[in-house]
Structure 1
Amino acid sequence: MDLLQLKYFQEVAKHQHLTKAAQELNVSQPALSKMISKLEQRLGYQLFDRTGRQIRLNNLGEAYLKIVENVFLELQKGEKELAFLTEKQNELISVAVTIPTILPQLLGGFLEHRPKARFRQYQAFADRMKTQLETGEIDVGISTFPIEGNNIEWYPIIEEEVLLAVPLSHPLAERKSIYLHEVENDPFIVMPPGYGFRQMTENFCAEAGFYPDFAFEGDETGVTYELVEKGLGIAFSPSMIRSQRLSSLKLAELNIIEPKCTRSVGLIWHKERTQTKTAQEFIAYTIEFLEKAKTSFEKQ
């Protein structure tokens, strides 16, 4: 179906005058007359009665006009629906995180700024996050490990200190700081293999000259420190977790003199992929959010 033919027919039917319709459409009268004739030839019947220079819709033309008007109405409805869906899609942000504990405060603050925004959230390992970025499954990632790759931008924001959480019954609980090798015989509570927290635990212990004894593996951060509180083991305690999840638990947190135990927190995104305005605003907001968190940690 030639929509231009239908539009020309609609205008001629509206004016029932070729010259006026041609002026409205900004085409020559012969070209318009030829277009209407082609439409009638394709349909196999006449839509207008012609008497000299007069042109009027006949019964078939009136019936066809209703059909054509419905076609354009449906097209307009379709365009509005697509515009709505596009707007809705543009408000969707897909984000992957290795530290989900920060999300309630982060997302809550952003939604106050951009109430129409919608989120699709993943908890992902570093390797998985990299793949999600490369395939376009996510717009941005919040990671505790630098992620490198072609066209991947790593933007580090926080270098946070990692302490050691021990139960109050632990022999070293009264100390303010320790050397990590002093707990080489203690059972550790960790995340399963693949998690950044697990890799961090293994790396720190390796720097101290030992491989940790894993007493418990679980993927829920809150449970990890509840188990520490119960005396079932010890665990590393990054600042961002400590400030939000451990305030109500009865346990001791020790500074680690050696080795230096810190981790980076930053954003990653795809450099070559065009971000929606909402995603751009979320990235800027997250950077500001983490910068403020960094200042807060430094004052503690």
Structure 2
Amino acid sequence: MAISGTGLAAFHAVAQAGGFTKAARARNVSQPTLSAQVRALEEAYGVRLFDRVGRSVKLTPLGQSLQVITARLFAAEDEAEALLAGVRTLSRGHLRIAADSAAHVMPALGRIREKHPGLTFSLTIGNSSDVLTELLNHSADVGVTAKQTSDPRIRSVRLMSDRLVGFLRDDHPFARRDTTPIEAFETQDVVLRERGSITREVFEARLAEAGVRPGHLLEVQTREAVREAVMTGFGIGVIFSSEFREGEGLKSVEITGADLSVAEYAVCLEERRRIPLVRSFMDAVQAD
């Protein structure tokens, strides 16, 4: 049985938009038409791709698996259309970027935008593991991550080195100094990103190497939340040096006695590295 391209396109549109109304608007069709196309696909194979509750929809486990495939399928279709439409001149197009830090990617995007003002961008910020996952799922075209990978599907180019630093409120006892040894973190409360973050992975490894056991550990999901938690008095935060911003009663301190350097990498899928938009990004980040 041949799968209906119309049905797959309708399914993908709804999955991407998170609902039939938004998807119908994006595809410029009526909602009943889109619903009928998805229903026909489900009935043809005797499956359920969405759980429908009122006006909201949620992907079933099978639907989630199918979305991974359709993301690759329609990403390839977009690439073909882009090439045929003349995007190799970079006069127009849309680049999706996943990064573990806005500070590490914005300079490159600024250069690309200045050179090719017709391009548009979307930027997703997550932890280093998320960046690689989005790339492999075709949810992003390119990425910047501190997580090194030997996956042959991914092209990786080393960009720069950064360093982890501590930061704290200016009324913290450590604030009277500019440096502090890693041993001083013994029994100190620490605020860190969630597991999957290179910041956390590297810092916890260095604590273990030094035989240091901190006090309470507060785990948060974003860098902004790390900053807010430190400002509230939950402990010492750890962040990339390039990301720290003075102000709001906060001060950074260099941590000595441990190698806290972290490399950053630009990544793309090996099979897509010659796509003009992708190539332009990889060239731009290496110009930093």
Assess same fold via TM > 0.5: yes
Contact 2:199 / 2:239 at 8 angstroms: preserved in 1? no
Larger radius of gyration: 1
SS at match of 1:272: helix
Residues 92-241 of structure 1 mapped to structure 2, 5 A cutoff:
92-241=94-243
Per-residue deviation at 1:282? 1.6
- Distance between the aligned counterparts of 1:230 and 1:252, measured in 2? 14
Partner of 1:268: 267
5+ residue gaps, structure 2: 1-80
Change (3 A) 1:124 1:83: closer
The CA RMSD measured in Å over matched residues stands at 2.8
More deviation, 166-175/180-189: 166-175
Change (3 A) 1:124 1:158: same
Change (3 A) 1:128 1:163: closer
Change (3 A) 1:263 1:107: same
TM-score normalised per structure 1: 0.59
Per-residue deviation at 1:163? 1.7
Alignment-mate amino acid for residue 107 of structure 1: L
Question: Structure 1 vs Structure 2: percent identity of aligned residues?
Answer: 19
Contact 2:185 / 2:214 at 8 angstroms: preserved in 1? no
Change (3 A) 1:128 1:203: same
Q: Deviations over 1:26-55 (max 9, x none)?
A: xxxxxxxxxxxxxxxxxxxxxxxxxxxxxx
Change (3 A) 1:270 1:110: same
Partner of 1:4: none
Alignment-mate amino acid for residue 249 of structure 1: E
Q: Deviations over 1:79-123 (max 9, x none)?
A: xxx679945797221221111344555434421221111223333
Contact 1:187 / 1:215 at 8 angstroms: preserved in 2? yes
Q: Deviations over 1:175-227 (max 9, x none)?
A: 22221111221111111222233223322322221344444332231332243
Contact 2:203 / 2:260 at 8 angstroms: preserved in 1? no
- Distance between the aligned counterparts of 1:112 and 1:96, measured in 2? 20
- Distance between the aligned counterparts of 2:105 and 2:130, measured in 1? 19
Change (3 A) 1:93 1:234: same
- Distance between the aligned counterparts of 1:170 and 1:130, measured in 2? 37
Change (3 A) 1:147 1:275: same
- Distance between the aligned counterparts of 2:82 and 2:202, measured in 1? 46
Say how many residue pairs are matched: 205
Partner of 1:259: 258
TM-score normalised per structure 2: 0.62
Contact 2:145 / 2:264 at 8 angstroms: preserved in 1? yes
5+ residue gaps, structure 1: 1-81, 290-300
